[in-house]
Each structure stands twice: as C-alpha cells, then as structure tokens.
Structure 1
C-alpha cells in the first residue's frame, strides 16, 4: 500500500534518488486501499447497504437510517483529563490520539469502509463480532503508544449493541459520500451516547482491561498541516442534542446551520496553512514509535517530504490539472466538519454576526425545552489526516484550543441544568 505525499520514505536507495522526485512520484501514484476487497461477502454488509444521504435535511428523517445488528459492538475511546492537556497547549496531541483510534481500527479490520466517528478527544467505532478481538488488541496496543509517546491516558471500552437496545437505545446508521473515496457514517438512535456513558460510569464492566498487546499500526495517520486560521473571525465548534430525538427540531437546527455553510467551511484553499515548517510532525512521530535507530532517519525523511510537498502546494494548489491541485481541492471537500452521532457536531468558520444569529436560534430552542447545546470559539482549527493515497483521504477537523472537548463540557452543563429544572 502506498499513500501520497505523506508516506514515510526511509530506504537509503530511495533517498539517494532524490527526495523531490520521490515526493512528486507519490503525488501521482495510485494505490489500493484495504477496502478494495469485494463487498458482497464482507461482515460490514449491513453498514455498506445502508442508505447514502447527501442532502442535509435527509439527516433528519428517521426512516432514512438502517438498523445495525444486535451482535455488533460499539467501541468507545477518549483521552482522560483532556482539560489538563488543553491548558498545557497540547490539544493537538489529544486530537491526534483520537484520530489514531480510527486509523488503528481501519488497519486492524483491514478496510476503510466501516462506521466510525471522530470526537476530538476520542473516537467511536462500530464493528461486527468477527473484529472484536482484533480491535480490542489494536486499541490496547494504542493505549501504550499514547501513554509513552504523548503522555496521555487513552480510556477504551466496548458495549454490545444488544445491551444498548435492551436499555432503550437504538443504533441506526446512514452514510454520507465524500469525494475522495471515503463514506462518513451518520448515527441515530441514542446508542452511541449511551455507550459513551456506560464506559465512563461502569469501568469494571465495560472498559477494556489493560493488557500487553503489540503496537497498533497507525499507517495512514498524518499530522503535517499547521493550524488553520479563521477567515471570518471565529472558529465555532458546536454540539447540539435534540431532546426526545425530535426530527422536526433537528431539521430546524440543520436549516440554521445550512444557511452558513456556503461560506463557513473551516478549511478552504484560501486558508490552507503553510506546512513548512511542520509544527506537529513530532506528534505523528510519537505515535508511530519507531525504534531508536530508525528515529533520526524517519524524521529526516518526513521533514524532507514536507519541504517538497510545501513547494508543490505553493505552486499548484489551485491548478486542477496538477496532482497537488486535485489533492488540495479534495482535501477541502473531504473534511468531517459536519456530522451526526446522536449529537449534531459542527466546526464552522463564522463572523461575529453569523455567530450571534446562530446562538440566538439555539438559545430560543433551548429555552423552549427542545435542545441542549454547547459551543466553543477559537481563532483557528486543527486538521489531522487519514491518508491512503491521492484518491483516498479523509481529514478530521476540530476547533483549536479545546474545540469539541470544551463544547462537550458546556453541553454536559446544559444537560445537567435541564435535568434539574
């Protein structure tokens, strides 16, 4: 398997051939992802047969989602005490660990087309039982990598779908097709929120016990882009939970968000940041955990690839006839800045006026007892990449300086207040 510009090149013969030639070749190179296997017999068929939804208002239709089987499992991971990392200016480390959970799951399952959701300080993955042991082992190994490389504690757990349904939740799924080979899963029914609660509230039953496991493969994870500055003044990270799962209320919220979308995408060709020098490359290195003797060679190789990719992007990022230009255009459209996992999640680049209008609508709906929400503002977004090739890549976006984590804290406060009232 070959990825595009971000693949690690440590072979001395390849380096001798010239790093610029290598970088250019990778920009035009095709590859075969783990998902290239036939779909007919895959255990993921119940997900792959779920409807694809493109219009945002379709997300509000319960009948557009398909139920996943009872014997599937919901795996949940999050960084404990993320607030401390945020206060220390290490939220990118937290983001990278969350994205690494998804990449490690993909490599453990041997495919990319499976249901997952990036949560900023963690991730959720849903798998059939045949992948239970493989994913548990991968995430156990990743726990050690995160602890040793990033000095963070990754909490991981799993809950059977049948148990979530027995407790009154459901797990229904749809898909949103992106342009660079990935589908983005959309979830409804309350099962993911319940699974997250159970893993945190009953660790003895639901958390995975710490166990020795081989290091997880995070091949495909990239932390090359620097922070993405806001174009309009504020990066808004927003979480909205609709009370009673009322589709009409969700549609009203979605309509307000949709009004901002033509200009509010947090990543665009106008604000793609320079990748030189790469501020976050050390985070990727820490998760890869190369041996001591490979570390210098690997870091030098990645550093040089960043040099030459930066040159390609400066020259060609707006040229659709060039590989770098096509990659940049697809990067912009293949971000996960708007998604649904029982909670509506959005990262938007907004002006003060847009923010005020949206907050006014949210406050009105909350006062009417229809929603709970949490939000956070910063002046930049973070982007962490899952890259298989020039044609297959996905980009996880979060608000800077705490993004999803701090918005979630405010959502929890809103939920607690509504329960007390």
Structure 2
C-alpha cells in the first residue's frame, strides 16, 4: 500500500501559471505528520556588507542540496531565501533531513566561516500555534518544478527559530552533508533595464485585500520584458575563476574529497564549463545552447513563501511605481525593497548528465534549478528594509 503521506507532494497537480500558483486558495494543506525545516545564516547582513554575498547564497542553496541528496532526491517542497531556505518533508524522511541540516550547519562553519541556524518542527505543532502550512507545485519550466507556500506557518516558524526556539545542534561527529550538484560558476548578471530590484511583500494578518494586491502586482510585473527575469542569454557569463573555484571546492569537501582534490576537481569543472560556454558544443545528445536557454526558465526570480519574493530586472521608474503602490497598501501589507546593479545565480544540478539534454514531460523533474538573488544583498537587505518599516 502506498503511504498517502509519502506520496502527498509528488501527487499534487502541477500549475504552470505563476499568477494561479501564487493564489493561496489553490494551495493544499500539508498532512499533519509532515515536518517543516528552516535554516538561515546568522549575521548574514554583516557578511553581505563585507562582500561575502556569494558565500551566503552558496550556504543557503547548500541547505536545499543537502536535503535533496539526503532523501535520495525524492520530490519535496522547498523555497530558497537568499541566506537560507525553508522546506517540508514527509515523516519517513524527517530523520535524514534533520541529520543533513545538522551536517550542513557544521560544514557552513568549517568551510564558509558562516554560522547556520537550523531547526525542524512538525506541521501539527505549527497548527497548534494557530498557523498553517499549505503548498502548491509550480512548474517554472518543463524540467523545473518547485513549491510555493502559504498559511503563515513558515513565517511563524522562522520567527520562532530566530528567537532561539526549536533549534537543532550542529553535527559534532564529523558528519558532512552531501552537496553533490551544487555549483557557483556563473558570474553576476548585470541589469539590462537599469536596476535589479529585490522585493518582499507580506500580508498584515489575513486581510482579504492582500490577495487583490498580489494579483495587481503580478499583472504589473508581467508588463516587464520577460516578466522582469534578470537571467538572459546575454547576462550568462562565467564568474571570476578564483572565487567560483574556492566556493565550489568548499562544497566538494563535503563529498569526502581531500581539500587538494576538491580544488583540482573544482578547477577542472570550472574550466570545462568555461570552454563549453565559449564554444557551445553540440555532441552526444548535448547542446550547451539548450542548457543556457533552460537556465532562463528554471530561474526562481519570483516565488511565494507566505510573502511574494521578487528579483526583477526593471527601470528605476518601475521600482518607484511599485513603491508608490505598496505605500498605498501599507494598512494591510508589509514590504521591503532593495536596489542593486546585478543579480546572482547559484546553481543546483541533479546530474551533470542533464546539461544540454532537454527532459520534456518529466513533471516531477528537477534537472537543474538556478536560485536567484540580488548580488548586493537582495532578499536579506529587502527583509531588513521591511523590518525597519515595521514601526509605521
């Protein structure tokens, strides 16, 4: 007999329209037995101000990579938050996810010199506190399906964790996370239309006007070129070799490689990626152009996690228009925005075999996903701006 809890997420219908997927009325409550996880980098604002934005994003994406590999790459709902991540797993995967979180916390401190705060809590406990956790599966592209959340539960849990509750200890027995597939080889994507706007927009309570505001904002960003997606073919260039190799080597030490071997492998992979970018090979069923085009559709530049998260390539005039509209909704919506010149990509590949091979029709597929944030702090700085407005 199939465990209904285990098959719950993979059996949900896939929604390909972002505006439809972002509507809470289309989200389904998680089963009571499921467990929610949260992780974020402590002091991420200071780290970003020191220019360590790529390391912060690498650790945030590493949380998702570690969980994915720990549960043998079964589909599960998650959302990337820039300096961390939120997710949920079925009860059969809870122990493996917990161990991966604890190992990632230890690895983050050892290899990235960043303190990662990690926690897990059953959905039933969140509901007992008066919040809920609901989910929907959104198809960003033919080979990329990820989740969006509503119900207030993830936001409530994040606040609890930041207050010091429900924390897990980091691993102390030398355990390391499996970060296979995590990479940081691409450079910063410059704004094509003037700026990269990071925005977080959250409801105040359960005011019904918030849903209408979301519909309006989603319609507004749909007027932008490519809906404001900062990832374009012109923007995709390899990043500085030294930085990319250093970060990827730090991730590869988690696979058990000696440090020198991690550096050799990371250098080789960066070199191969650079050559593939330069010469765009088409051989063995692979096509680098196909892969790069799929990076555009597989970029999570917009998502919903108890709040609307946006990383948009837009004009200063558009940012001002959005800010004016949000100001008029301050009675029932909280928001924060941050402007920078570049977007940042952190990539997760399930397998290098997927590069250049379109995987049409696999609705459960996560061949590759590209986590997007602003390159000067993005969501972390937008969240800080939101908190600074909380007195209003």
Give per-residue Cα distances to partners, 1:377-399, cap 9 Å, x unaligned. 11111111001232510000100
Among 221, 227, 234, the alignment partner of 1:257 is 221
1:78 matched to 2:53? The reply is no
| Equivalence for 1:323 | 287
User: How many residues align structurally?
Assistant: 374
After TM superposition, which residue ranges in structure 1, 4 or more long, deviate above 4 angstroms?
39-43, 290-293
| Equivalence for 1:11 | none
For residue 43 of structure 1, report the CA deviation from its aligned partner.
4.7
For residue 290 of structure 1, report the CA deviation from its aligned partner.
6.2
Among 276, 292, 297, the alignment partner of 1:333 is 297
User: Which residues of structure 1 form unaligned runs of 5+?
Assistant: 1-38
* SS of alignment partner, residue 345 of structure 1: strand
Could you tell me how far apart the structure 2 residues matched to 1:153 and 1:218 are?
17
| Equivalence for 1:207 | 167
Provide TM-score, normalisation by structure 1: 0.83
Could you tell me how far apart the structure 1 residues matched to 2:179 and 2:4 are?
23
Do the aligned partners of 2:103 and 2:170 also contact (CA within 8 Å) in 1? Answer: no
1:197 matched to 2:171? The reply is no
* Larger Rg belongs to: 1
| Equivalence for 1:408 | 383
Among 84, 108, 117, the alignment partner of 1:146 is 108
Question: Structure 1's 226 and 173: CA in aligned 2 closer, same or farther, altered over 3 A?
Answer: same
Give per-residue Cα distances to partners, 1:146-180, cap 9 Å, x unaligned. 10111110000112111111222111111111335
Do the aligned partners of 1:249 and 1:370 also contact (CA within 8 Å) in 2? Answer: no
Could you tell me how far apart the structure 2 residues matched to 1:342 and 1:293 are?
39
* SS of alignment partner, residue 313 of structure 1: helix
Q: Cα RMSD between the aligned structures?
A: 2.4
Could you tell me how far apart the structure 2 residues matched to 1:127 and 1:322 are?
33
Do the aligned partners of 1:226 and 1:278 also contact (CA within 8 Å) in 2? Answer: no
Question: Structure 1's 293 and 330: CA in aligned 2 closer, same or farther, altered over 3 A?
Answer: closer
Could you tell me how far apart the structure 2 residues matched to 1:112 and 1:179 are?
18
Provide TM-score, normalisation by structure 2: 0.89
Larger relative helix fraction: 1
Do the aligned partners of 1:226 and 1:279 also contact (CA within 8 Å) in 2? Answer: no
Among 337, 342, 358, the alignment partner of 1:380 is 342
| Equivalence for 2:27 | 65
Matches within 5 A, 1:290-369: 294-316=258-280, 323-366=287-330, 369=331
For residue 339 of structure 1, report the CA deviation from its aligned partner.
0.3
